A and B are shown apart, each in its own frame.
Chain A
Amino acid sequence: MIDFENVTKIYEAGNHALEGITMHIDDGEFVFLVGPSGSGKSTIIKLLTAELSPTSGSISVNGYQLEKIKRRKIPYMRRTLGVIFQDFRLIENKTVFENVAFAMRVVGASTKEIKKRVPYVLDLVGLENRGRRFPNELSGGEQQRVAIARALVNNPAMIIADEPTGNLDPQRSYETMLLLERINALGTTLLVVTHEKELVNRFTKRVVAIDEGRVISDGMDGYYSYEKE
């Protein structure tokens, strides 16, 4: 669950990235966060992952109050999230299996648990035969699916996807989104940050639109409702 309460973020240089954002995302929801470049989307992601702290207001993520979270608690908060990036962020010298297993190692899982869980997750994202490959041997779509598998492997309460289809062609983008929809159907909350209008409109999901650091629309009417504003 995400709860933003009147959140403002002003960077040291003085630019106002967010101006009193209030937003609530319930467990199990699938939400698109849309907006043009510089609207504040990336700042929201960084606040959610505790890379930044808000200038004012309160943020609650999966039971952690991020405006007052202690540094040593941040890793444990992050374990409740799975994060997917536009550039996949895979470790080039680890195989697909190792890239996914790595996220389990971090939380202290045993080799036995890893050997059981990783093939299951790779199967879920359709990469059951790619375990021994290295990232640079895979297509962009496949690499993104490895990143999704890594985000999913620890069974997080929520997945945050930052422009997950930004580097993919329309067909792969659609397939990736279908995969995320399937994951959401299994009970994981999904927050997808994107600016791909057609893609958003192919799914009937809640769309939160922000511009100049403010929420300008929030509803089930698709991306176009934000454009009409």
Chain B
Amino acid sequence: MKKSRNIRYLFTEGVHGMFRHGFMSFAAIAVTVACLVIIGTFGMILYNLGLMVKQLDEQNRILVFVDESYGTAEARSVGSSINMNPNVKQAVFVSRSEALANFEQQQGVEAFEGVDANNLRDRFVVTLVDNAKMEQTLTELSAVQGVADISSHPEIADGIVMIQKVLNVVSVAIIIVLLVVSLFIISNTIKLAMYDRRDEIAIMKMVGATDSFIRFPYVIEGFLIGLISGVLAFFIEWGLYDLIARAIGNLNGNFGLFIVVPFTEVLIVVAITFGLTGLLIGVLGSVFSIRKFLDV
């Protein structure tokens, strides 16, 4: 009974505290929102770049040509040996006539006038599980019986793998730096708010308040500040993202150079991330900042 009475009082105190110290609350919210939006924007840029790289990676296929002397049915059977390789994700059979039809469709019928499908070879379009192991896989596939030749672009695969590695390192580094910077700024902002209230805390200690009794309203305050910051940052990020996406859309024209995922596709993930990060920053910021002032 005593406990629930206290919790109600402490919760109300926390809510009142946020309004009572309006300017500091506003400052803490503004800093948290700014940090979340910066981290979020970086995250989204990296996410989109990652998707683009992934798409490029998926387009980087290799062609495995079957020996000319093999008939179509025989050539198709080579696929089972190709598929046995653990790094082969998919091997799609394309017959000579299908290959010619594809060429005609891409380049125009006139360009292939008089070309006989029998001059081409049956082939498999192979997608790999891991392009980083392309070289080794190519050696293994060349050894498969019935494989005459392989056409591949290992330099593209290498490039993509390199871009991915750089992106991963850069994104982790940037997000860590931004998180550390924002935690530092936020904890200092909250510390400043606490400093403003050090007398109040000292009085509470003097009349016999326990540490948890003193801490609770501040944690509630931090929780609310974090929650409000998360929600605000989410909507700002949404608006900003749409703005950037539209600008990139205009820049792309008809070429479709850059792919931008619509915000609605990542809405839930961003909302949860912002909400949780805001709450975590708010609550942890309060808990860590108040520790120093409890030592009375």
Which residues of A line the B interface, CB within 8 A? 49, 51, 72, 75-79, 83, 89-91, 93, 102-103, 105-108, 110-111, 150, 154
| Pairs across A and B, CB under 8 Å, 15 listed | A49-B206, A78-B206, A79-B208, A89-B199, A89-B203, A89-B206, A91-B200, A103-B207, A105-B6, A106-B209, A108-B2, A108-B6, A110-B5, A111-B5, A154-B207
Query: Which residues 102-154 of B have a CB within 8 angstroms of A?
Result: none
Query: Which residues 4-18 of B have a CB within 8 angstroms of A?
Result: 5-6, 9
By the criterion CB–CB under 8 Å, are A150 and B20 in contact? no
CA distance A102 to B200 in the complex (A): 11
Number of interface residues of B (CB under 8 A): 20
By the criterion CB–CB under 8 Å, are A105 and B200 in contact? no
Q: Which of B3, B20, B210 contacts A93 (CB 8 A)?
A: B20
Given contacts A51-B296, A75-B208, A106-B209, contact A91 B5 (CB under 8 A): no
By the criterion CB–CB under 8 Å, are B203 and A105 in contact? no
By the criterion CB–CB under 8 Å, are A102 and B208 in contact? no
By the criterion CB–CB under 8 Å, are A102 and B20 in contact? no
By the criterion CB–CB under 8 Å, are B20 and A83 in contact? no
Q: A136 CB to closest chain B CB, in angstroms? A: 14
By the criterion CB–CB under 8 Å, are B5 and A89 in contact? no
B213 at the binding interface (Cβ < 8 Å): yes
Give 12 new A-B contacts, CB below 8 A, not counting A102-B203, A106-B213, A154-B207. Answer: A49-B206, A75-B208, A75-B210, A78-B205, A78-B208, A83-B206, A91-B199, A102-B204, A103-B207, A105-B6, A108-B6, A154-B208
CA distance A100 to B10 in the complex (A): 16
Q: Which residues of A are found within 8 Å of B210, using beta-carbon distances? A: 72, 75
| Interface of B (DSSP majority class) | helix
By the criterion CB–CB under 8 Å, are B5 and A108 in contact? yes
B202 at the binding interface (Cβ < 8 Å): yes
By the criterion CB–CB under 8 Å, are B208 and A89 in contact? no
Q: A79 CB to closest chain B CB, in angstroms? A: 4
By the criterion CB–CB under 8 Å, are A106 and B208 in contact? yes
CA distance A75 to B213 in the complex (A): 10
Q: Which residues of B are found within 8 Å of A49, using beta-carbon distances? A: 206
Q: A99 CB to closest chain B CB, in angstroms? A: 9
Closest Cβ neighbor of B2 among chain A residues: A108
Closest Cβ neighbor of A104 among chain B residues: B207
Q: Which residues of B are found within 8 Å of A89, using beta-carbon distances? A: 199, 202-203, 206
Q: A72 CB to closest chain B CB, in angstroms? A: 7
Closest Cβ neighbor of B9 among chain A residues: A105
Q: Which residues of B are found within 8 Å of A77, using beta-carbon distances? A: 208
Q: B16 CB to closest chain A CB, in angstroms? A: 9
CA distance A108 to B3 in the complex (A): 8
Q: A101 CB to closest chain B CB, in angstroms? A: 10
By the criterion CB–CB under 8 Å, are B296 and A75 in contact? no
CA distance A85 to B49 in the complex (A): 63
Q: Which residues of A are found within 8 Å of B6, using beta-carbon distances? A: 105, 108
Q: Which residues of B are found within 8 Å of A105, using beta-carbon distances? A: 6, 9
Which of A75, A77, A93 has most chain B Cβ within 10 Å? A75
